């Protein structure tokens, strides 16, 4: 019997809960009380599961919430994440209507570790296909809940717990076969019907367990296969930023409150008809139909063996595979808020309405409608294994060793996206009568303005057309629309292919771990035991995610297959991509948008297109299937990180006051070493449109009027000498530096006025030159400082040059009206088609990438103290003090960076991530009071406080960069000529950080800092002074910065009313409520504007769960309601101009079961009975109001403004499940 107590570990609290156990000796009972685990007892029914949860909470050493047996997999929460949503302090993020990731007590999914049998789970890619990110968050939808026996949410930290969570440790446990009273042979078959999409799916699971060798060896095997077809209709809009082009005349808009034209409102006398208003508006919007399908397979094998009375061996093997197939059909309406595209005769005041600061109706004759479809998906495979060996070295000393392995492999299924845009010509006005064909009167349709109308509510109706595109060809062969702005999504003649995208990606995440734990039981009066041990783990995560965009006219090269021919120019229309597939639904967007007759053109759908066909149509010759196409990969899309963790801990367990006060105090030492690799890139403008003024003024000396005028101004004007025989412009064929000048750079040629206002006539090269020794020079008489025409005056010397005068010149872009422009002097060092000075082209001239790596190391000490005081037999108070840590998101720690030159803007941009981030830390206080007033009754309250520091913060700072245009990319190739990406390097450049220059150094082009000079676009040369300074880059990076405080309370009440008479004795209630108040530090932006503190994302201030159940005589009925108040989604949405919030949700589920006999049970469940939807709205942070003033609505929790600025609304409908469970 000695091995029994070591195996089952029944605590004194379980005995007090009146659970029947075989008789055991007092000595064994004493030893069992010292065990930390609670025995999993085979108790049927929901009431039995509550008993287990209550006992687990009662006998824990800190604040703990548990879900047991009948709760997991046998309620409507067959998804693990949905089951966890019933726990206080946990909120769930959803995908396709089911839970996926969890946030706990104000900490997001990346900051909470989830383990299975002690092994930290790995994860796949997060985010959208083609734009995925590498994170620690675990998608719990990839696991079936059938494999679990219990879930523990450990909210109070102790030294022996694995580190990595700021909110709570979530521990998933599978079944231990030797703890089952009897063998198990079960089969579950379930049919699922989604009312919204009309599809019926199935779920089949089975389990087998038995004991052998005199109950010393146990086996359990569980397998599940299930499919789930989903439909999600979704409304999405993108709100517009403040730009001049979004302004609208006050005479062309109606005020929603008064119904008057805005300029006619009596209290707006200062607003004239031509006043430009600046309302907040939609930039574009979508109606989306997501018809996705999930296929999930899960298997688990548990082997438990007791070779001796002192040794236990447990091997757990878990496997899961989830395939998500995506099929998304969308229509898009794109509008601008201005009225420039309409005619004066249009009824514009009827087409535009403003409500407060928001444009709620915007119609125009040139509205733009688009059709998109995406096909694809993701295949995710999880493998988790653990080997746990426990051995009593002596009666008082136990050693445990656990070997853990977790691996997640994810791969994108063949995925493509296609965008169809309105055919060229349909934006034109109605053609002139003389251009119409003879039968035009019979075929021309009336004007139908398009756009959006939100006057009936915050969800906008997209105003479309039912007119068909009736084009004709004039004598000039121009395609014209016979009426303005059609937007009929059912018209195959209206749309052409605009863009297609090919998405790909894969990820691999492997975690290996070793845990060694010792437990030494002591005989002291106050010290009960000493625990100590350590762990080692190594986690490697690799991810690549690429979104290849192919537009009209793209040049597509498959560098790996010389046989493949791809048309450089291809033209595909709507009809080419149409399939014979019917639109999946006939009630599209029902229940989301209003459905008046005038806006009803979309509800039955449109022609379904196949984006995969694009890749066949664009090929010439023998068509290569998409699955075999191998396009050149973007190295910048890949990254990997290896994280090695070691930890040592010690924990002292004690008791005082005759055992009424128990607790532990401990210390954990954690060392983390990160080795990360990623690609960095420097992207230049790659055409022949970039002018380096420092080069042409300082090095080329084109502004030196004492030099001869360059010959090209007099000769062929096309400068053919700078063109190679094959027509490619060569960098090295321009005139040698210091040999000639260009008067168009420094001399005003166009007419103007002098200081007296007198008109000055146009000049030509001949007008300003003199001949000297067979060469032409600028007339020295014109090179005087007070000459009105002499705009750019430069003094040259041996040490460089000084600019003495720098006025705008209107004629700089064009020379002598001949069409010869300043492009001849463009900098071709970054043009991949240019023959460089070395006589060769550089295919990486425009974009230069190289492999970068970094190592980082950190150490943290985590103290903890837990106290539990038995105020009475049934009343327990708890106190927990601890420090916890979590590691930064993997993607934030990759040594990735990119610099993007923008010759059309005053500042270029860049992003540099930070591989040297430190762990995030939290100081925690937990207080709880728990009253166990009956075997199945619990009333508890808890207070929590978290002071978290080190949250990752984005920082923007201006830099110059070192000029490396002539430092070429170097690499090795393999036997096939393919680049070895690991060998890529730029000599002298260790990282992007190494070429950043602080502007405070005062660097100027040509000095010892060798900064990259400003390069201007040719068409920006006109009428601007020259800029020969260092190019500015606004670089965004991440640092350990802001902190956050989260505080709140939790309340729970559970009771079975078995003391009531008759049928009422089967009634029970399980209720919990959480109040959470989180607040980040205030943000001060680069302009010095201070923004109010915001809460942590996905942390509702109020959340509650109520379950009312009745169970008696084999019949169980359960009604569960889950409520979450508003919660922050993204503080810096729409480029920081707004914040987005998820509106309150309230979901009601029903589950029932009836035991026909001891072998058969029938189940029925209904989810989302209330047909709850999910609505995201936004509040303004940096938008301006209608008059152009800053409009900051602040934190919604502190300033609950209107929710009418909706960003998205989606619904997934109800699901019904009918099943039968057989036990043998």
Which DSSP symbol is given to 33? H
Cα gap 989→964, rounded to integer Å: 9
Single out the residue of 398, 397, 387 nearest to residue 514, CA to CA. 387
What's the DSSP call for residue 736?
P
- pLDDT of 1098 reads 87
**Under 8 Å between Cβ of 416 and 488:** no
User: Taking the CB of residue 18, how many other CB atoms lie within 10 A of it?
Assistant: 9
The pLDDT, as a whole number, for residue 267 is 60
**Which band of pLDDT confidence, cut at 50, 70 and 90, is reported for residue 128?**
confident
Segment 822-828 shows an average pLDDT of 79
Q: Is the pLDDT of residue 565 over 60?
A: no
- Residue 352 and residue 361 in contact, taking contact as beta carbons nearer than 8 Å: yes
Instruction: Name beta bridge partners: 295.
Output: 227, 323
Mean pLDDT across 26-32: 39
Question: What is the mean predicted confidence (pLDDT) over 659-677?
Answer: 96
Top mean pLDDT of 562-566, 870-874, 982-986 is at 870-874
Q: Worst-scoring range by mean pLDDT, 337-341, 396-400, 1214-1218?
A: 337-341
Highest-pLDDT range among 566-570, 877-881, 906-910: 877-881
Which tokens in the block code for residue 1165? Answer: 């469940």
Per-residue model confidence (pLDDT) at position 838: 64
What is the distance between the alpha carbons of residues 755 and 809, in angstroms, rounded to a whole number? 16
pLDDT band with cut points at 50, 70 and 90 for residue 176? very high
How sure is the predictor about 69, in pLDDT bands with cuts at 50, 70 and 90?
low
List the one residue out of 846, 1146, 1158, 1133 whose CA is nearest residue 1015: 846
pLDDT in tens, 1150-1164: 999 999 999 999 999
pLDDT for the residue numbered 45: 66
Can you tell me the distance from the alpha carbon of 1221 to that of 1216, in angstroms, rounded to the nearest whole number?
Answer: 16
Strand-pair partners of 104: 90, 107
At residue 167, does pLDDT exceed 70? yes
User: What pLDDT shows up at residue 481?
Assistant: 36
DSSP state of 980: -
Which residues are paired to 390 by β-bridges? 312, 400
11 has pLDDT over 50: no
Residue 1049, classified by CB atoms within 10 Å of its CB into exposed (0-12), middle (13-18) or buried (19+), is: middle
Q: What is the mean pLDDT of residues 315-339?
A: 88
pLDDT at 628: 62
Average pLDDT over residues 170-179: 92
Task: Write down the pLDDT at residue 518.
Answer: 98
DSSP 829: T
Give the highest mean pLDDT range of 48-52, 200-204, 414-418: 200-204
> Of the spans 236-250, 345-359, 705-719, which averages the highest pLDDT?
345-359
* pLDDT tens, position by position, 364-410: 876 778 899 999 999 999 999 999 999 999 999 999 999 999 999 99
Angle at the Cα of 505 from the Cα atoms of 504 and 506, rounded to 5 degrees: 145
Tokens, residue 945: 């406080």
Average pLDDT rounded to a whole number, residues 122-129? 86
Q: What does the DSSP 8-state code read for residue 481?
A: -
Residue 29 has pLDDT above 60, yes or no: no
Query: CB within 8 A of 97, min separation 6: which ones?
Result: 230, 232, 1168, 1212, 1213, 1215
Q: At a CB cut-off of 8 Å and minimum separation 6, what does 562 contact?
A: none
- The predicted model scores a pTM of 0.84
Instruction: Return mean pLDDT, the chain.
Output: 83
d(CA 668, CA 81): 29
Instruction: List phi, psi (to 5°) of 626.
Output: -55, -40
- DSSP state for residue 136 in the 8-state scheme: S
478-533: per-residue pLDDT in tens?
A: 333 334 456 778 877 778 888 888 888 899 999 999 999 999 999 888 999 999 99
- What is the chain's length? 1224
Average pLDDT (14-38) is 37
DSSP code at position 441: H
Q: pLDDT digit string (tens) for 1161-1188?
A: 999 999 999 999 999 999 998 887 777 7
Which of 706, 762, 778, 693 is closest to 1029 using CA atoms?
693
* Sign of the CA dihedral running 599, 421, 363, 267: positive
Q: Collapsing DSSP states into helix, strand and coil, what is residue 1201?
A: coil
Which has the higher per-residue pLDDT, 97 or 208?
208
DSSP letter at 447 equals P
Both structure tokens of 639: 């990254």
- Which of 51-55, 935-939, 1152-1156 is least confident? 51-55
What does each C-alpha distance from 1049 to 925, 943, 1080 come to in angstroms? 12, 4, 19
- The percent helix, strand, coil of the chain (3-state, each to 5) is 10, 45, 40
How do strand 897-900 and strand 661-683 relate by DSSP bridges? Answer: parallel
Closest CA to 1177 of 1137, 1126, 1101, 1136: 1126
- From CA 79, how far away is CA 201, in angstroms rounded? 16
* Mean pLDDT, residues 191-199 taken together: 93
Better-scored residue on pLDDT, 822 or 775: 775
């Amino acid at each position: 019997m000695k091995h029994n107590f070591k195996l089952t570990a029944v605590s004194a609290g379980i005995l007090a809960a009146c659970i029947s156990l075989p008789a055991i000796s007092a000595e064994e009972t004493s030893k069992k009380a010292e065990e930390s685990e609670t025995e999993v007892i085979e108790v049927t029914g929901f009431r039995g599961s509550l008993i287990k949860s209550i006992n687990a909470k009662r006998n824990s050493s800190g604040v703990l919430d548990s879900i047991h047996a009948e709760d997991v997999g046998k309620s409507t929460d067959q998804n693990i994440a949905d089951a966890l949503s019933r726990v206080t302090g946990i909120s769930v993020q959803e995908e396709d209507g089911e839970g996926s990731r969890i946030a706990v007590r104000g900490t997001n999914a990346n900051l909470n570790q989830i383990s299975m049998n002690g092994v930290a789970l790995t994860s796949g890619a997060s985010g959208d296909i083609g734009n995925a990110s590498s994170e620690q968050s675990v998608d719990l939808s990839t696991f079936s809940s059938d494999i679990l026996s219990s879930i523990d949410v450990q909210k109070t930290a102790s030294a022996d717990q694995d580190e990595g969570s700021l909110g709570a440790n979530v521990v998933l446990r599978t079944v231990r076969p030797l703890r089952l009273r009897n063998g198990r042979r079960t089969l579950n078959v379930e049919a699922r019907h989604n009312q919204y999409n009309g599809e019926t799916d199935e779920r089949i699971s089975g389990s087998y367990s038995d004991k052998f060798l005199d109950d010393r060896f146990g086996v359990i095997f569980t397998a599940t296969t299930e499919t789930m077809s989903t439909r999600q209709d979704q409304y999405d809009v993108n709100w517009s930023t403040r730009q001049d082009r979004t302004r609208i005349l006050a005479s062309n808009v109606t005020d929603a409150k008064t119904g008057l034209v805005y300029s006619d409102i009596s209290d707006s006398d200062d607003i004239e008809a031509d006043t430009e208003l600046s309302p907040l508006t939609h930039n574009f919007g979508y109606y989306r139909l997501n018809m996705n399908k999930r296929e999930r397979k899960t298997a688990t094998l548990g082997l438990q063996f007791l070779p001796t009375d002192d040794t236990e061996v447990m091997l757990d093997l878990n496997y899961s595979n989830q395939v998500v197939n995506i099929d998304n059909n969308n229509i898009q309406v794109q509008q601008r808020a201005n009225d420039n595209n309409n005619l004066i005769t249009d009824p514009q005041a009827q087409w535009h309405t403003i409500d407060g600061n928001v444009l709620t109706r915007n119609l125009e004759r040139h509205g733009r409608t688009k059709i998109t479809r995406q096909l694809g998906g993701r295949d995710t495979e999880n493998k988790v294994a653990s080997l746990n060996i426990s051995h009593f070295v002596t009666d008082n000393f136990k050693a445990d060793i656990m070997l853990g392995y977790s691996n997640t492999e994810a791969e994108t299924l063949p995925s493509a996206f296609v965008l169809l845009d309105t055919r060229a010509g349909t934006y034109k006005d109605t053609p002139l009568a003389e251009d119409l064909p003879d039968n035009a009167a019979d075929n021309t349709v009336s004007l139908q303005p398009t756009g959006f109308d939100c006057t009936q509510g915050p969800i906008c109706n997209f105003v479309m057309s039912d007119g068909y595109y009736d084009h004709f060809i004039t004598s000039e062969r121009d395609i014209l629309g016979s009426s303005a702005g059609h937007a009929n999504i059912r018209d195959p003649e209206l749309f052409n292919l605009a863009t297609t995208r090919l998405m790909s990606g894969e990820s691999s995440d492997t975690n290996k771990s070793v845990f060694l734990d010792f437990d030494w039981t002591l005989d002291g009066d106050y010290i009960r035991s000493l625990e100590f041990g350590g762990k080692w783990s190594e986690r490697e995560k690799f991810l690549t995610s690429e979104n290849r965009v192919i537009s009209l006219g793209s040049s597509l090269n498959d560098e790996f297959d010389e046989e493949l021919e791809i048309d450089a120019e291809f033209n595909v229309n709507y009809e080419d991509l149409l399939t014979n597939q019917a639109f999946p639904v006939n009630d599209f967007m029902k229940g989301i948008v209003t459905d008046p007759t005038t806006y009803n053109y979309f509800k039955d759908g449109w022609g379904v297109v196949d984006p995969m066909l694009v890749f066949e149509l664009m090929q010439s010759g023998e068509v290569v299937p998409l699955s075999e196409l191998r396009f050149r990969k973007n190295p910048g899309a890949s990254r990997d990180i290896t994280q090695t963790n070691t930890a040592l801990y010690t924990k002292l367990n004690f008791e005082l006051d005759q055992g009424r006060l128990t607790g532990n105090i401990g210390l954990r030492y954690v060392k983390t070493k990160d080795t990360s690799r990623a690609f960095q890139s420097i992207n230049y403008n790659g055409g022949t449109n970039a002018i380096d003024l420092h080069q042409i003024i300082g090095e080329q000396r084109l502004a030196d009027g004492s030099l001869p005028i360059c010959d090209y101004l007099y000769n062929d004007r096309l400068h053919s000498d700078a063109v190679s025989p094959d027509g490619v412009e060569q960098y090295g064929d321009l005139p040698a530096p210091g040999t000639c000048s260009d008067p168009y750079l420094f001399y005003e040629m166009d007419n103007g006025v002098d200081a007296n206002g007198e008109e000055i006539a146009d000049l030509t090269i001949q007008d300003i030159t003199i001949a000297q020794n067979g060469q032409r020079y600028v007339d020295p008489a014109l090179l005087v400082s007070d000459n009105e025409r002499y705009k750019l005056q430069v003094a040259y010397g041996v040490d460089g040059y000084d600019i003495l005068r720098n006025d705008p010149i209107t004629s700089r872009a064009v020379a002598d009206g001949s069409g010869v422009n300043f492009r001849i002097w463009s900098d071709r060092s970054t043009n991949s088609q240019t023959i460089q000075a070395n006589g060769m082209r550089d295919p990486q001239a425009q974009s230069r990438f190289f492999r970068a790596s970094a190592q980082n190391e950190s150490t943290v000490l985590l103290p903890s103290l837990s106290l539990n005081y038995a105020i009475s037999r049934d009343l327990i108070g708890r106190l927990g003090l601890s420090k916890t840590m979590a590691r930064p998101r993997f993607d934030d720690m990759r040594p990735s960076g990119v610099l993007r030159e923008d010759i059309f803007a005053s500042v270029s941009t860049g992003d540099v991530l930070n591989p040297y981030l430190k762990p995030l830390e939290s100081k925690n206080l937990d207080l709880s009071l728990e009253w166990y007033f009956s075997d199945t009754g619990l009333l508890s309250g808890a207070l929590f406080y978290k002071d978290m520091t080190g949250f990752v913060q984005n920082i923007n700072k201006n830099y110059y960069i070192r000029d490396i245009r002539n430092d070429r990319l170097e690499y090795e190739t393999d036997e096939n000529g393919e680049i070895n990406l690991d060998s890529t390097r730029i000599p002298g450049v260790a990282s992007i950080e190494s070429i950043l220059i602080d502007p405070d150094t005062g660097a100027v082009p040509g000095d010892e800092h060798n900064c990259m000079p400003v390069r201007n676009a040719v068409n920006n040369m006109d009428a601007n002074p020259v800029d020969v300074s260092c190019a500015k880059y606004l670089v965004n990076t991440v640092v350990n910065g802001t902190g956050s405080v989260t505080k709140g309370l939790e309340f729970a009440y559970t009771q079975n009313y078995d003391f009531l008479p008759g049928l009422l004795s089967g009634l029970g209630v399980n209720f919990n409520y959480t109040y959470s108040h989180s607040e980040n530090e205030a943000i001060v932006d680069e302009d010095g504007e201070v923004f109010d503190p915001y809460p942590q994302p996905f942390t509702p201030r109020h959340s509650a769960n109520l379950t009312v159940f009745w169970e008696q005589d084999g019949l169980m009925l359960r009604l569960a309601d889950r409520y979450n108040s508003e919660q922050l989604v993204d503080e810096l949405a729409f480029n920081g101009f707004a914040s987005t919030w998820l509106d309150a949700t309230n979901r009601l589920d029903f589950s029932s079961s009836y035991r026909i006999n001891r072998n058969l049970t029938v189940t029925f469940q209904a989810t989302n009975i209330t047909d709850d939807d999910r609505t995201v709205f936004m509040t303004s942070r940096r938008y301006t109001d209608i008059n152009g003033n800053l409009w900051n609505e602040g934190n919604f929790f502190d300033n609950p403004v209107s929710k009418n600025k909706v960003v998205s609304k989606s619904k997934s409908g109800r699901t019904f499940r009918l099943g039968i469970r057989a036990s043998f």
